[in-house]
């Protein structure tokens, strides 16, 4: 290549890079002014108090109720992820191995649910699960002690609502991994004499492990930040971290403490995102609310 | 051999049955709101007693609910108008970034999806309150623009990645100036992605509750925020009617989006 041609190419490249920067500029400005800067201020605000930099964080660690809320949020989220895995696995499997019509039907269920506003779904569950609701009556009719079991405004209600809302986030990454899988491995195991159960546990499960873990990390993380379901379907004992944040802003007007709680939630989420992305390729599937 | 085969078939049947039950579980709360909204009783009950469209009349004649509907549509429209061009330009620019710059920018663009909405809501609340933007339609639309931007960028980038760069090169080699090549080749091919991005932006805003809870104040109460107070203070079938309207709008927009993408 002649020097003149190389020079012109370089010029053109630097011009296209300048255009690229100009195109990105408005979006970058929006994100910087309305997202990155406010978040930075929130973090800074959580450390600045006239009584000392760490006063809010000390309070989180010192007051048992706050630790209890944090612990509950983590434990309920972990249980939710486990239930989602158990319930989501067969759906993802059917989705991948179904014909075009079955696939469309399953995807319709998943996406209709996914795009129904959280409040609508929580409201529906409140009505369906209430002591005089249809679920209790069905339990009663089947001879189960439905009347005596409380299904809502307690842990059961939170788990039913939370699992239903987060299931799509388990089903989709699982199905993505399953569809990339080569069926030949399982067939080989079967032809070598493995029982269906053994072929499943010894060959299939290890092959879909990344998708399983990706789904679990995603569901767990999304659950940590949830607000609507615990607020509407839980009892006073099932308070989540997000409710504590909302309470400190709208009720006690303690913005500094709310910022510290938010920073804890943010740091945990980013750490989990990094783990999920680094080890299970979660960056591809992360999305939604 | 026969026994394992039978057991295998039994296993497959069990998987299908479990999948069907979970699918019903997924659908139930979305489907239940419709019957809830047409009950003739003045309390919510499933299955409904009688049939009445009175709750829809109540919804559309009540000043509070009408205002909420108008706020929702205004905020979502404003969000779409801002997020779509800004996000499209951003996707076009990001396509020319390479290496670490591309990785870093992609991560930053995705951040509003990754960060828990409650954290974004608190941060936006403390940033917009001193500016007097809490409780205003433009303030809430600005906040929703942050949530919607990643979805526009994702949708446009997806179409952009499938675009054959040789088409633009061909236009250029036939004498088109860069801007003409962009207008005549890139832009028409990009339109489905831009349209999908716009619909996602609208839906993201229309569907948001958590950010609106903090920023709605009294001047920008959207449908979800009004539903929230409806659910908390009186469980009336009006809430079910409002839910049905909200759900129908989302379904309509998603069907529209499929249509756009299908073309």
- Per the structure block, which two tokens stand in for A7? 């020079």
**CB A34 to CB B146 under 8 A?**
yes
Does the N-terminal peptide bond of residue B47 adopt cis geometry, omega within 30 degrees of 0? yes
Q: Where is A46: in which H helix or E strand?
A: helix A37-47
Gyration radius of chain A's alpha carbons? 25
Residue with tokens 């609508």: A120
For the range A44-52, what are the long-range contacts, defined as Cβ-Cβ under 8 Å and sequence gap of 24 or more? A45/A255, A45/A256, A45/A259, A45/B126, A46/A256, A46/A259, A46/A260, A46/A262, A46/A263, A48/A256, A49/A256
Encode pLDDT of A17-34 as tens digits.
Answer: 888 999 999 999 999 999
Angstroms from B101 CA to nearest CA on chain A = 11
Low-confidence ranges of chain B (pLDDT < 50): 1
Residue numbers of A between 111 and 150 with CB closer than 8 Å to B: 111-113, 115-128, 132-134
Which chain B residue's Cα is nearest to A225?
B116
pTM of the model: 0.90
Contact of B211 with B144, CB cutoff 8 Å: yes
Find the CB nearest A262 among B8, B110, B122. Answer: B122
Residue with tokens 């108090």: A49
Q: Looking at the complex, does the CB of residue A252 fall below 8 Å from at least one CB of chain B?
A: no
pLDDT of residue B201: 95
**For residue A99, what is the DSSP state?**
-
Q: Looking at the complex, does the CB of residue A230 fall below 8 Å from at least one CB of chain B?
A: no
pLDDT of residue B46: 74
**CB B46 to CB A128 under 8 A?**
yes
B62: phi then psi, degrees, rounded to nearest 5:
-70, 130
Encode pLDDT of B22-57 as tens digits.
Answer: 999 999 999 988 888 887 777 777 777 778 888 888
As a whole number of angstroms, the distance between CA A186 and CA A105 comes to: 26
**CB A196 to CB B89 under 8 A?**
no
The interface predicted TM-score of the complex, written ipTM, equals 0.89
Find the CB nearest A249 among B15, B214, B231. Answer: B214
Phi/psi region, residue A281 (left: phi>0; alpha: psi -120 to 50; beta: rest), is left
Task: Give 3-state DSSP helix, strand, coil % of chain B, rounded to 5.
Answer: 80, 0, 20
pLDDT of residue A289: 33
Encode pLDDT of A70-91 as tens digits.
Answer: 999 999 999 999 999 999 999 9
Encode pLDDT of A100-149 as tens digits.
Answer: 999 999 999 999 998 899 999 999 999 899 887 778 777 777 766 645 67
Size of interface A-B (CB pairs under 8 A): 247
**CB A90 to CB B203 under 8 A?**
no
Residue with tokens 């330009």: B89
């Amino acid at each position: 290549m002649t020097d003149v041609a190389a020079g012109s190419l370089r010029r053109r490249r630097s011009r296209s890079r300048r255009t690229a920067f100009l195109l990105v500029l408005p979006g970058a400005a929006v994100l910087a002014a309305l997202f990155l800067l406010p978040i930075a201020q929130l973090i800074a605000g959580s450390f600045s108090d006239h009584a000392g930099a760490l006063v809010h964080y000390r309070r989180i660690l010192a007051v048992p109720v706050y630790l209890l809320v944090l612990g509950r949020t983590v434990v309920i989220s972990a249980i939710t992820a486990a239930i989602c895995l158990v319930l989501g696995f067969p759906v993802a499997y059917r989705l991948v191995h179904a014909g075009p019509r079955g696939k469309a039907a399953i995807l319709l269920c998943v996406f209709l649910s996914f795009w129904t506003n959280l409040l609508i779904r929580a409201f529906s569950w409140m009505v369906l699960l209430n002591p005089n609701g249809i679920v209790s009556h069905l339990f009663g009719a089947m001879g189960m002690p439905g009347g005596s079991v409380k299904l809502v405004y307690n842990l059961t209600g939170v788990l039913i609502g939370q699992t239903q809302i987060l299931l799509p986030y388990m089903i989709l990454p699982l199905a993505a991994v399953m569809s990339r899988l080569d069926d030949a491995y399982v067939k080989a195991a079967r032809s070598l004499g493995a029982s269906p159960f053994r072929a499943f546990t010894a060959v299939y499960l290890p092959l879909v492990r990344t998708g399983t873990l990706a789904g679990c990390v995603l569901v767990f993380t999304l659950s940590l930040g949830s607000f609507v379901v615990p607020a509407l379907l839980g009892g006073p004992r099932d308070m989540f971290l997000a409710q504590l944040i909302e309470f400190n802003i709208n009720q006690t007007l303690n913005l500094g403490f709310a910022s510290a709680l938010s920073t804890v939630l943010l740091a945990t989420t980013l750490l989990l995102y990094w783990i999920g992305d680094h080890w299970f390729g979660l960056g591809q599937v992360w999305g939604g609310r | 051999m026969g026994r394992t085969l039978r057991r295998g078939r039994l296993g497959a049947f069990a998987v299908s049955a479990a999948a069907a039950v979970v699918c019903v579980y997924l659908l139930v709360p979305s489907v239940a709101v419709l019957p809830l909204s047409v009950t003739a009783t003045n309390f919510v009950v499933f299955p409904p007693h009688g049939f009445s469209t009175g709750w829809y009349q109540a919804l559309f004649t009540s000043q509070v609910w009408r205002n909420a509907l108008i706020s929702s549509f205004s905020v979502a429209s404003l969000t779409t108008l801002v997020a779509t061009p800004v996000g499209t330009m951003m996707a076009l620019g990001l396509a020319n970034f390479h290496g670490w710059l591309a990785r870093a920018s992609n991560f930053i663009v995705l951040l509003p999806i990754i960060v828990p909405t409650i954290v974004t809501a608190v941060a936006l609340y403390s940033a917009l309150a001193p500016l007097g933007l809490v409780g205003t339609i433009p303030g809430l639309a600005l906040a929703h623009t942050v949530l919607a931007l990643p979805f526009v960028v994702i949708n446009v980038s997806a179409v952009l990645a499938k675009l054959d760069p040789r088409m633009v090169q061909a236009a250029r080699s036939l004498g088109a100036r860069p801007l003409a090549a962009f207008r005549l080749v890139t832009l028409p091919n990009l339109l489905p992605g831009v349209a999908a991005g716009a619909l996602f932006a609208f839906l993201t805003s229309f569907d948001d509750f958590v950010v609106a809870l903090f920023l709605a104040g009294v001047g920008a109460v959207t449908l979800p925020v009004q539903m929230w107070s409806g659910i908390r203070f009186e469980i009336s079938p009006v809430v079910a009617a409002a839910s049905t309207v909200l759900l129908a709008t989302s379904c309509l927009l998603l069907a529209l989006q499929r249509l756009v993408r299908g073309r």
